[in-house]
Amino acid sequence: MSPVGRRIVVASNRGPVSFGREASGRVVTTRGAGGLVTAVSDGLAATGGLWIAAAMSEDDRSQAGRTIQVDAGGRGYQVRLLPFDPPDYEGYYDGISNRILWFLHHALWDVPRAPTFEGLAEAWQGYLTVNEAFARALEEEGRSPPGEAVYLVQDYHLALVPALLRERLPRAAIAHFSHIPFAGPTGLRILPQPIREALLAGMLGADVVGFQAPAWAENFLLGCRTLQGTRVDLRRRVVRWGGRVVRVRVHPISIDPAGLREEAAAEPAEAAARDILEWLGDRRLLVRVDRAELSKNILRGFLAYERFLEGNPEWLGRISFLALLNPSRQHLPEYRAYTQEAIELADRINSRVGRADWEPIRLSLMDDHPRALAAYRLYDVLLVNPVFDGMNLVAKEGPVLNERDGVLILSENAGASAELGRHAIAVNPFDVEATGRAIATALEMGPAERRRRARGLRSAVARNPIDAWVRAQVEDLERMGR
Ligand code: GDG
């Protein structure tokens, strides 16, 4: 049953289904399996809810306008994809969301050189157009019965939607949730003032503004203090703005352990496990699993491993590092260059210290979820060292599937560190030497402590069940009389 029985309407850039075409020309549907899809599907299915997302490709656009029925465990919900003119979508998606907001909130710019904001005005126009279209679609869908729908608006792509929807439906129940970190007020000042203010005011159109971790909520509150006309209560996490009260809440997203275990026991993951074991032999296994993404800090992870091998030569030939990178945003030059650098760095380390019978790092660059699950089962050490990360689901998935009392090395700047940090080895992700030392500490840890920490990680994940995330957001709104 849904948390409150009210119809849930979700808005996000990427939807739970996408379309492609077979060689024969036949249109095929792919069901997404990301964290958001898993966390939201149950709540939506229980209310016969609706998910509105952008048509992200030509094939998606060919299906726009049609209502797609998604089956979720025997129950269902509907999906509607919104079509956009490609130049508007590009400005919104790559121009603003991927290249400005993602970089800003993860502190990815090399600030002496970037950003330069070329083409900003045009991209911002696209962002406005797409956000307006989402608000319009949400209004249409939520009109009947009036006041009944609960709107859950997702992420930095749709920061303007809460205020735009509020203009149309002043009494609507609206929550906005950021899956990624939120920059502090100094970082926010990189943005031109009108854009900074529009983004903050846009999010403040919601009744509840949600984040994955306390640090991001606090940054948002501090940012709101720079917006004229707001009154911010940092302690109670309340912003008064335009005669309304907005609550800022922390709701860490979770994972579905049962679903993961099922997938990890299926043949594709079993086959991948056999393959990894054959390559590994009797060595110990260090693993990382990420999108090939700048914020994941892949380069410093490799450098830390190199430092570890230099400082601990007794481990040469006794450990291998499996880096599973799922290609991401490879159409952006920053991502292509970063991925290339990771490949070259791994090659350099392999040729420096590798031997005919030992490959120190294996970098796999492909979309291969079963292999990631197999690696989770087998690691001795899991390295999760993002520079900043909203949550990081890998840090939760790994310990749930691991069969070796593996040790988690976790960046203190990942949202997950709030829940898992005390059972992990915490690292400052910028400190390569400290990360190298953490690898040594993890490998040398005694079995009793490994077991205790692995158990701690598993129970921390179990304490936050997957369905709690949607429920908590709906309850927030109810508590505010929405
Ligand atoms: C954003 C925020 C936040 C792994 N290999 C493949 C693959 N995976 C799956 C993992 C995991 C997911 O990808 C990665 O999730 P993360 O949370 O680590 O990272 P982001 O993609 O950056 O997610 C993040 C999250 O949103 C949810 O709110 O935690 O902070 O950045 O589930 O198992 N998936 C596929 N192929 C692979 O090869 N399809």
DSSP lists the bridge partners of residue 166 as none
Reading the block at residue 235, the tokens are 């302690």
Q: State how far the Cα of 357 lies from the Cα of 454, in Å rounded to an integer.
A: 31
Digit-coded pLDDT (tens) for 427-460: 999 999 999 999 999 999 999 999 999 999 999 9
Based on the domain organization, do 472 and 395 belong to the same domain?
Answer: no
Q: Looking at the predicted structure, is the pLDDT value of residue 71 above 90? A: no
Domain count, the chain: 2
What pLDDT band is residue 412 in, cutting at 50, 70 and 90?
Answer: very high
| Residue 307 domain flag | yes
Based on the domain organization, do 445 and 473 belong to the same domain?
Answer: no
Based on the domain organization, do 239 and 309 belong to the same domain?
Answer: no
What pLDDT band is residue 2 in, cutting at 50, 70 and 90?
Answer: very low
Digit-coded pLDDT (tens) for 12-35: 999 988 888 888 888 788 877 677
Predicted local distance difference test score (pLDDT) of residue 73: 66
| Residue 337 domain flag | yes
Contacts of 416 (CB under 8 A, 6+ apart): 213, 252, 384, 389, 391, 392, 393, 395, 396, 410
Please state the rounded mean pLDDT for residues 406-422: 98
Q: Looking at the predicted structure, is the pLDDT value of residue 3 above 70? A: no
What is the CA(35)–ligand 1 centre distance, in A? Answer: 7
Based on the domain organization, do 133 and 68 belong to the same domain?
Answer: yes
What is the CA(337)–ligand 1 centre distance, in A? Answer: 21
| Residue 1 domain flag | no
Instruction: Tell me what the pLDDT averaged over the chain comes to.
Output: 94
Based on the domain organization, do 68 and 156 belong to the same domain?
Answer: yes
Q: Looking at the predicted structure, is the pLDDT value of residue 112 above 60? A: yes
Based on the domain organization, do 363 and 457 belong to the same domain?
Answer: yes
Mutation pick for ligand 1 pocket among 14, 291, 401, 413 (CB with most ligand atoms within 8 Å): 291
What is the CA(482)–ligand 1 centre distance, in A? Answer: 32
Based on the domain organization, do 191 and 274 belong to the same domain?
Answer: no
What is the CA(365)–ligand 1 centre distance, in A? Answer: 15
Contacts of 63 (CB under 8 A, 6+ apart): 19, 27, 55, 81
Q: Looking at the predicted structure, is the pLDDT value of residue 407 above 70? A: yes
Ligand 1 atom 20, closest CA: 392
For 114, list phi and psi in degrees, rounded to 5.
-140, 150
Helix (H) or strand (E) holding 479: helix 468-479
Looking at ligand 1, which atom is closest to the CA of residue 390?
Answer: 30
Predicted local distance difference test score (pLDDT) of residue 141: 84
Query: How distant, in Å, are the alpha carbons of 128, 224, 262, 314, 435 from that of 192?
Result: 15, 15, 48, 53, 36
Query: How distant, in Å, are the alpha carbons of 114, 192, 390, 440 from that of 100?
Result: 10, 11, 16, 37
Q: Which domain holds residue 243?
A: 7-253+467-481
What is the CA(168)–ligand 1 centre distance, in A? Answer: 34
Mutation pick for ligand 1 pocket among 366, 383, 391, 466 (CB with most ligand atoms within 8 Å): 391
Looking at ligand 1, which atom is closest to the CA of residue 328?
Answer: 21
For 72, list phi and psi in degrees, rounded to 5.
-130, 95
Ligand 1 atom 8, closest CA: 369
Digit-coded pLDDT (tens) for 457-476: 999 999 999 889 999 999 99
Digit-coded pLDDT (tens) for 351-363: 999 999 999 999 9
What is the CA(387)–ligand 1 centre distance, in A? Answer: 15
Looking at ligand 1, which atom is closest to the CA of residue 416?
Answer: 29
Q: Looking at the predicted structure, is the pLDDT value of residue 324 above 50? A: yes
Mutation pick for ligand 1 pocket among 335, 387, 392, 411 (CB with most ligand atoms within 8 Å): 392
Digit-coded pLDDT (tens) for 159-168: 999 999 999 9
| Residue 2 domain flag | no
Q: Are 139 and 173 in contact (CB under 8 A)?
A: no
pTM listed for this prediction: 0.96
List residues near ligand 1 (CB under 6 A): 35-36, 179-180, 253, 289, 291, 326, 367-369, 372, 389-394, 397
Predicted local distance difference test score (pLDDT) of residue 145: 66
Looking at ligand 1, which atom is closest to the CA of residue 393?
Answer: 17
Based on the domain organization, do 410 and 276 belong to the same domain?
Answer: yes
When comparing pLDDT for 193 and 73, which is higher? 193
What pLDDT band is residue 10 in, cutting at 50, 70 and 90?
Answer: very high
Based on the domain organization, do 453 and 471 belong to the same domain?
Answer: no
What is the CA(296)–ligand 1 centre distance, in A? Answer: 11
What is the CA(164)–ligand 1 centre distance, in A? Answer: 29
For 83, list phi and psi in degrees, rounded to 5.
-85, 145
| Residue 175 domain flag | yes
Of 1-10, 223-232, 424-433, the range with the lowest mean pLDDT is: 1-10
Looking at ligand 1, which atom is closest to the CA of residue 384?
Answer: 18
Percentage of the chain surpassing pLDDT 70? 98
Q: Give me the long-range contacts of 333-336 (CB less than 8 A, separation at least 24).
A: 334/99, 334/294, 335/292, 335/293, 335/294
What is the CA(228)–ligand 1 centre distance, in A? Answer: 36
| Residue 65 domain flag | yes
- CATH code where residue 368 lies: 3.40.50.2000
What pLDDT band is residue 146 in, cutting at 50, 70 and 90?
Answer: low
| Residue 348 domain flag | yes
Q: Looking at the predicted structure, is the pLDDT value of residue 1 above 50? A: no
Predicted local distance difference test score (pLDDT) of residue 110: 96
Q: Looking at the predicted structure, is the pLDDT value of residue 144 above 80? A: no
Based on the domain organization, do 320 and 395 belong to the same domain?
Answer: yes
Based on the domain organization, do 292 and 366 belong to the same domain?
Answer: yes
Q: Looking at the predicted structure, is the pLDDT value of residue 385 above 70? A: yes
Based on the domain organization, do 186 and 44 belong to the same domain?
Answer: yes
Looking at ligand 1, which atom is closest to the CA of residue 35?
Answer: 27
